[in-house]
Structure formats: structure tokens, C-alpha cells
Amino acid sequence: QVTLKESGPALVKPTQTLTLTCTFSGFSLSTRGMRVSWIRQPPGKALEWLGRIDWDDDKYYTTSLKTRLSISKDTSKNQVVLTMTKMDPVDTATYYCARLGGLTTEVRRDDAFDLWGPGTFVTVSS
């Protein structure tokens, strides 16, 4: 069974650094074609793609947050870590991790997020 689950603090103060962990099972991020993304959703608003880490350790970040984001993986622990610096109240959101590359064995760049974690809500407030 393939699952993903986000974990981390529910509350961070402005200017602090947020660290979230996505722990997954049922697949390996060392398998060619596998990728994990972070996506967030402020209350009542749309989904926003934040970034992605690929099986070959390539990383991509949304342009507007590129200077604040870092994504890393620990293949042995089946974990992907998101770090976001200089947190602000506007960063209050539900943060999701989701898998790419699980629908086919073909290696593609344009495939869909076939599985998502349940999300973790992060409040930024003093």
C-alpha cells in the first residue's frame, strides 16, 4: 500500500524557519521516474505548487518562493523534507506532499499526482 504523510509544527512564529517532513511507504524515491512535490493551500484558496525533488536528486522550486525554499530527501528513511525560511502570516496554509511517477512505468515529466498525503495545517502567528 502506497501512502504519504506530512508532519511538522502546527504553529510557527513570523521570521522563523518551517521544516516539514513527508514520510512515505510503498515506493522508493530512488526508482527512476519517481518524484515528490510539495503543494500548499491557504484557507479558502487554490492549490499552489511549491516545488519538487526527483529520483536523481534534481530539485525545482516555484519562482516566487525560490529564495526561501529547500527540498531534500533521505532515501533510506523514505522521507522528503521541505524547509521554508522567513515565515510570514500569509504562509498560513495546509501543506501537502504528493507523488509523481506512480501511474505508469514510463518515465515522464508531465504525469499526474496520483497520491497525496492528508496534509498538515501550519499557522504562522506570533
Partner 1 sequence: SYVLTQTPSVSVAPGQTARISCGGNNIGSTVVHWYQQKPGQAPVLVVYDDYDRPSGIPERFSGSNSGNTATLTISRVEAGDEADYYCQVWDSSSDHQVFGTGTKVTVL
Task: Collapse the DSSP code of 63 into the 3-class scheme (helix H, G, I; strand E, B; otherwise coil) and give the result.
Answer: helix
* Residues sharing a CB contact under 8 Å with residue 71, sequence separation 6 or more, in sequence order: 38, 51, 52, 53, 59, 61, 80, 81, 82, 83
Q: Give the x-and-dash track for 81-110 against partner 1 (CB under 8 A).
A: ---------------x-x-x--x-----xx
Distance of closest approach, residue 113 Cβ to partner 1, in angstroms: 6
Q: How many helices (H) and strands (E) does the chain have?
A: 0, 11
Please identify, using beta-carbon distances, which residue of 11 and 112 lies nearer to partner 1.
112
**Which CB atom, from 13 or from 66, has the smaller least distance to partner 1?**
66
- Cα–Cα distance for residue pair 78/99, rounded to 1 Å: 12
User: Candidates 11-19, 24-32, 43-51, 82-90 — which segment interacts with partner 1 by CB under 8 A?
Assistant: 43-51
Check: CB of residue 39 under 8 Å from CB of residue 96: yes
Instruction: Name which position in 56, 57, 74, 114 contacts partner 1 (CB under 8 A).
Output: 114
Q: Which x/- pattern over 62-81 shows residues binding partner 1 (rule: CB under 8 A)?
A: xx------------------
Nearer to partner 1, 83 or 104 (CB): 104
